[in-house]
Structures are given as C-alpha cells and as structure tokens.
C-alpha cells in the first residue's frame, strides 16, 4: 500500500536528538514488532536495515516499517522450531536445541552439543554499541577458533580439512537463514544507533506464546490431543474417554500400553512432549522414567544368572574384587537386588556436593566399590534409591566382562525387538523424540506432612519438595540424559516397557509381534543413530567425481544419522525378529518368576515381610501373597505385571506428580479386565518408596 508517512530517517541522528527520540526504546519496539511477525504471524519482513524504517515525529515516536519487498511466510511447525531454538538458547537446554534442529530439518554430521549451543546463542546475544564492536568481534573470533579446535579433535581432521568441513549434512533450511538474517540486521540497527538491546528478554514472551498456544487449547478443543492410532479393544476406547475427561490440567503427556494373555489391548499416546514442546506424544516417544529403570536393571542381573555368569548367593566381592573392602565382604548378589546391602545412602554426600557427578559412570563405580555399609547385610530392607543402579551396574559389567549397554541390548532390547525405544542413557540422534519433564507444583505442595513407610530412608525425605521441584531441570539436561544411571535414567516408550513386562509375566516367553497397524512400528528405529567417522569424511572428500549415484546413495546410508527404517523394511524385520517361540530366559516359567518375587526356593534371600523381591517391587493385596511385580518411578511412570492373570501394563508421564494419574489409569484398566487392583494403585493402599509417586498419603 502506497501511503505517505512523515517521519525521521534512522540515520538522521541530529533529528532524532532534536525530537527527543528514545533510541533504545525505539529499537526495542522494532524488535517486538519483528518477534510478533515471526512467532505470532509467521509472516515477516526479512530486511530490517535502517533504510527500511522511519520514526514518527509525534510522541511517542513510534517506528514506521517500510518496504515489505523481501518477506517470508513460515509454517506452524517452523514457527515452533524457531521458537524452541530461541528458548533452548535462553535456557541453555542442549536437548531442546538439538530437537529444534531436527524439527526444522537441520541434520548434523557430528555430535557436538556444547559447540552447537554456543554457535546458536550468538544469534540471540545482547547487542553491543558501535564503540564495543571491535572487542565483540575479537571475542567471537576466539570462540570460533575454540570451536574449530574442538571439531578438529572430535573428527581427527588436520588444519586444512577442518576449514572445509561442513558439520551440516544438507543445506541450512532457507527459513532459518532468513530468520538469522533478521536477527543480524536488528543487531546492526542497535549498533548504528549506539544502544544495547537484550534480545532474549524482548523476544521471549512471543516465543513462549507460540509454544504454549496449542497447549492452552487442551483436549476439549484439540482433536489431536490423543494421538491418532488404532483402537485395540473396547477397554482402550473407554480409557481414551477417561483420559479426555481427566484433561490437560493433570496430564501433560502420557503413554499407556497393556497386554492381556500375550496380546496388545491398549497402546495409547496423549498430550504433548513438554511444557514448551507442543508436538504430540506418539507411541515411540521416549519418556524419562526414573526408578522404573531399576526393573530393567534387575532383569539384566537375572539374565546373567540364567546365563550361568552369576549366582544369587555369591558374594559380590568374588565377582568384583575391588568391592570387597570396608565391611562389604559378606554382601551377596541377592542383598543388592533386595535392597538389604546396607548401602542405601552410599554416594549420597558425593551427589549432594556435585549432582552432575552421576554422569561419570566409571567414577561412580569406583566410589561405590569404596563405600561402607550402614547396616549388616540382610538385616534391614531400606530402599537404595540411587546406589542400586551402580551396585547392580558394576556387578553386571564384572560378571559379564562387557559394557552395561552391550548386555542391555543383548538381554532385552534385541530379543524383544524394541530397538530405539528403550535406553539407559540415550545415544546422540534421538533428541527429537524425547519428552520433557515438568512438575505439578500444586500436587508437590501436598508433600508437607507426608508419612513415609519404614523402608524409606529419612535422608530421602529431607527437603523433598525442593528436590522434586529441581529434579526436572537436572534430568532434562543432555549430560544427564546421556549418562548411564541404572537406578534412574531409563528413557523408553510405554509399549517397549509393557512388552518387557509381558515377557516377564510369561516367564520370559517373548510375546507375538506388536501390532503392524501401530505407526511408527515398534522396533523400526535404528537403535544407535550413526554419525560419520573421520575416516569416512576424509574418504568422501578424496573420492572421485566418477562415483555413480548408486554409490553415493549407499555412502549416505552408512554415513548419516538414520532415525528410522522404511515401513516396509520394518514389517519384515518385525516379522523376523519378533516371532513367537523365543525366550529371554532358559529357566522354567515358575522358577524365574519365583526369583523375581522372592518366593519358593528364593524366599530365604529376601527380607521377611519386605516389599521387594529380587530387584522388583512385589504387588498384591494387603494380607495376601503377592501376585505381581514391577517398579514405579518418581513422578508417576510405572510398569508391572500380574502373571496369574496374564496381564502387563506400562504408563509413562512427563508431568511429575504424586502418581494420581497413573493410579487412576491402572485402577480403571484392571477393573475393566477383572484383574485385582494392587494396593500400590488403590485409593488408600500402602504405597512404595519412590518418592513423590509412592509416599504414603498424609495422616488424617
């Protein structure tokens, strides 16, 4: 529209001074206008240089935007990805940054999250005045040199090669290039007017609005709140109605999967991946499940016993020589599994002093081997909330002579064909499927006046509300997500966890393949996405131009991260790998399940009247023998099975609370199927020791 506007040019400094224009406020207003265009409208001017603006002569001297010749319209998904990239830089969240890259179509050849964060943050840094520009350029050059050196060391490149190495697989997305151009020009605008602008503060509300917008709609107005997947049973249809009734006030993101008599009867995903991640939860989304991980780790120990690598009654020091110090010589394998080793507080002081020390696997194993028990082995059952993982993890590695991750894959992941959907420590390349934790602070406040059970260490209750509020921030970080923490760091889908417990409920017999109607197919992901090695990169560079297109295509498959195989390949793979007849254990059905629950010939290995069997929490009705086993996690996720009724269920959540959502879901499903509801999930029954999920309710 051609319309005459009487204003002042931005380069006319004398006139700006004469009219009393607040230049800092002016640039802030321009920045807000562009933030609104980008994050709210999705349609913006890509050329905000000084010549494309005027300032009105009348107070309050509003900016006038001219010349919308270079404009860009972006999709809703790109808006969300750009907003997520912005907020990840504001929060220093490497997981969200890598996820944002994947969402906008940016694929990297190399895994260097810290350097990626530093580079991305440059675009949102505080602007500098013209007089500070020289020093700013010097600092940026120094940072660029540090990043180049890190890349050179990571990829084993020489100085010449690193100059030509492009860490991006494909061309940088055009929408993102225009977006970054706008930020650079806005920064130039600040410098030309000699003002400092904090872009993170100004643009943040608009970015948050983009990500929060779809969340506020909730299930009543958002038809996609429950992920569109086939309904496997009448029970599942009723469950979905219940979830809609419960709504987004209690549910952020959730997955539920259940098996009955070896068949999938529920496989539902609902909600969003995070508070600032409006993408829908899908069946293959990966949730952090805290102590649910202990049930996976326990299964690995039982697998090694079944393989003849371990015996429950062996002393740990016979398998792990360095462990046999500081009064630990009499601790046996079954003591570790039954939470009766006396090491319930081991490394507690280390973790309090330096919480990120949990990421150093070798150091944690070394420290746990030097620890001293507080009680005699077998004398009392006190929940080993963190130490359980390092105790069993060290045992697994020393008994097998192999790495923890290798045993996890051989014993559980590959036989069940759940590749890409069960990890203890995620690999690079799966960040875009991660659910992000948040806390229901309204429920956490109810922790005041909690009455703990006798198996809960007092140390665990000290400042628990503050701890619960801080846990998501720590466990959302990339370093912690990638660490091996076998007591608390599982990342998995509900359908992978349910399949695991369905196999355990059948004494290790592997269930039939998961439904081929569920998309994406279970087991269709590459378990460890690949990044190129230095040798591969050098080889490609030296390659002749005479290579055929077929050869090039083959090279790409080897070289770049491949997050999913084709559906056709997956169907064949599932049919081949997931066929019935296989087993996780060679032991008889009843024998291995007796070991899980600590009954029969294994009853002497557990603490009398204790709530745990060998590695699993025992589930049942008060006053009756246990009928099932499984493990819950802090905040609400859970997996368990009832072998007598051929039932297994898994629930994953990312809004941490007192477990009310999980209990209601499990109660509903059990009642619909006629399966006894364990006390753990009843309204008034005794809860287990996993902090916010399993603490007993306040005394009345």
Residue 566's pLDDT is what? 34
Residue 280's pLDDT is what? 93
Q: Can you give the length of the chain in residues? A: 700
Q: What ranges make up the beta strands (E) of 251-404?
A: 253-260, 263-274, 277-280, 287-288
Residue 546's pLDDT is what? 41
The contacts of residue 648 (CB under 8 Å, 6+ apart) are 258, 259, 498, 501, 502, 504, 505, 639, 640, 641, 642
Q: Quick check: 473 and 274 in contact, CB under 8 A?
A: no
Q: Report d(CA 582, CA 102) in Å as an integer.
A: 36
Beta-carbon count within 10 A of 584 CB: 22
- What is the DSSP pairing of strand 655-656 with strand 438-439? parallel
Q: Quick check: 609 and 454 in contact, CB under 8 A?
A: no
The low-confidence residues of the chain, meaning pLDDT below 50, are: 1, 220-221, 533-579, 691-700
pTM, full prediction = 0.79
DSSP for 235-247 reads: HHHHHHHHHHHH-
Give bridge partners of residue 583 from the DSSP assignment.
509
Q: Report d(CA 481, CA 234) in Å as an integer.
A: 36
Q: Quick check: 176 and 123 in contact, CB under 8 A?
A: no
- What is the DSSP pairing of strand 438-439 with strand 628-632? unpaired
Residue 444's pLDDT is what? 59
* Among candidate residues 310, 463, 516, 474, the one with its CA nearest the CA of residue 397: 310
pLDDT in tens, 484-527: 999 999 999 999 999 999 999 999 999 999 888 888 999 999 99
Angle between helices 76-91 and 113-122 (to 10 degrees): 100
Q: Report d(CA 338, CA 594) in Å as an integer.
A: 14
Residue 507's pLDDT is what? 93
Residue 567's pLDDT is what? 38
The 8-class DSSP code of residue 540 comes to H
Residue 122's pLDDT is what? 67
Residue 542's pLDDT is what? 47
Cα distances from 90 to residues 81, 174, 198, 201, in angstroms, run 14, 23, 11, 9
- CA angle 73/76/82 to nearest 5° reads 85
Helix (H, G, I), strand (E, B) or coil at 440: coil
- Please report the domains of the chain, with CATH numbers, ordered by start residue: 1-222 (no CATH), 287-417+433-465+483-520+585-681 (3.40.710.10)
């Amino acid at each position: 529209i051609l319309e005459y506007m009487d204003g002042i040019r931005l380069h006319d400094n004398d006139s700006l001074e004469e009219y009393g224009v607040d230049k800092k406020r002016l640039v802030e207003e321009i920045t807000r206008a562009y933030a609104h265009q980008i994050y709210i409208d999705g349609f913006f001017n890509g050329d905000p240089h000084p010549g494309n603006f005027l300032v009105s002569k009348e107070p309050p001297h509003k900016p006038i935007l001219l010349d919308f010749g270079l404009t860009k319209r972006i999709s809703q998904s790109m808006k969300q990805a750009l907003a997520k990239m912005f907020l990840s830089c504001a929060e220093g969240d490497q997981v969200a940054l890598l996820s944002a890259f994947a969402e906008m179509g940016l694929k990297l050849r190399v895994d260097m999250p810290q350097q990626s964060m530093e580079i991305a943050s440059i675009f949102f840094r505080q602007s500098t005045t013209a007089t500070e520009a020289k020093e700013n350029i010097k600092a940026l050059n120094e940072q660029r040199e540090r990043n180049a050196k890190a890349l050179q060391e990571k990829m084993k490149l020489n100085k010449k090669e690193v100059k030509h190495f492009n860490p991006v697989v494909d061309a940088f997305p055009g929408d993102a290039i225009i977006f970054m151009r706008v930020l650079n020009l806005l920064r130039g605008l600040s410098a030309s007017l000699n003002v400092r602008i904090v872009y993170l503060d100004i643009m943040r509300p608009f970015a948050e609005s983009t990500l929060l917008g779809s969340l506020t709609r909730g299930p009543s107005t958002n038809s996609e709140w429950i992920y569109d997947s086939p309904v496997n049973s009448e029970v599942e249809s009723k469950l979905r109605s219940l979830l809609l009734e419960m709504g987004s006030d209690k549910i952020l993101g959730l997955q539920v999967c259940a098996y009955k008599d070896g068949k999938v009867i529920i496989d539902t995903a609902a909600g969003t991946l995070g508070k600032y991640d409006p993408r829908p939860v899908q069946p293959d989304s990966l949730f952090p499940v805290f102590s649910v991980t202990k049930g996976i780790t326990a299964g690995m120990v039982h697998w090694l016993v079944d393989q003849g690598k371990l015996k429950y009654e062996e002393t740990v020091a016979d398998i792990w020589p360095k462990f046999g110090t500081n009064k630990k010589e009499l601790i046996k394998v079954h003591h570790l599994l039954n939470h009766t080793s006396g090491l319930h507080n081991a490394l507690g002081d280390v973790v309090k002093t330096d919480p990120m020390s949990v990421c150093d696997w070798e150091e944690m194993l070394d420290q746990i081997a030097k620890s001293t028990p507080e009680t005699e082995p077998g004398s009392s059952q006190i929940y080993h909330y963190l130490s359980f993982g390092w105790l069993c993890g060290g045992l697994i590695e020393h008994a097998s002579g192999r790495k923890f991750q290798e045993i996890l894959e051989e014993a559980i992941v590959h036989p069940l064909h759940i590749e890409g959907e069960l990890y203890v420590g995620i690999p690079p390349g799966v960040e875009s499927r991660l659910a992000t934790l948040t806390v229901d602070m309204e429920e956490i406040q109810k922790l005041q006046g909690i009455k703990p059970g006798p198996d809960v260490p007092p140390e665990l209750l000290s400042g628990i509300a503050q701890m619960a509020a801080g846990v998501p921030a720590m466990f959302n970080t990339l370093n912690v997500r990638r660490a091996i923490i076998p007591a608390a760091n599982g990342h998995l889908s509900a359908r992978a966890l349910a399949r695991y417990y369905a196999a355990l409920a059948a004494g290790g017999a592997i269930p039939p393949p998961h439904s081929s109607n569920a998309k994406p197919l279970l087991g269709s992901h590459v378990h460890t996405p690949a990044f190129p090695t230095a040798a591969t990169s050098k080889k490609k560079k030296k390659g002749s131009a005479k290579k055929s297109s077929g050869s090039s295509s083959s090279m790409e498959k080897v070289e770049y991260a491949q997050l999913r195989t084709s559906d056709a390949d997956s169907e064949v793979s599932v049919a081949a790998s997931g066929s019935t007849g296989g087993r996780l254990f060679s032991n008889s059905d009843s024998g291995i399940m007796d070991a899980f629950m600590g009954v029969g010939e294994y009853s002497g290995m557990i603490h009398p009247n204790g709530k745990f069997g060998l590695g699993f929490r025992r589930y049942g009705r008060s006053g009756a023998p246990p009928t099932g086993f499984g493990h819950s996690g802090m905040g609400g996720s859970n997996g368990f099975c009832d072998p007598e009724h051929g039932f297994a269920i898994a629930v994953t959540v990312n809004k941490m609370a007192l477990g009310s959502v999980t209990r209601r879901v499990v109660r509903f499903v059990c009642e619909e199927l006629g399966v006894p509801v364990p006390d753990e999930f009843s309204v008034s029954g005794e809860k287990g020791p996993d902090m916010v999920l399993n603490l007993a309710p306040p005394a009345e």
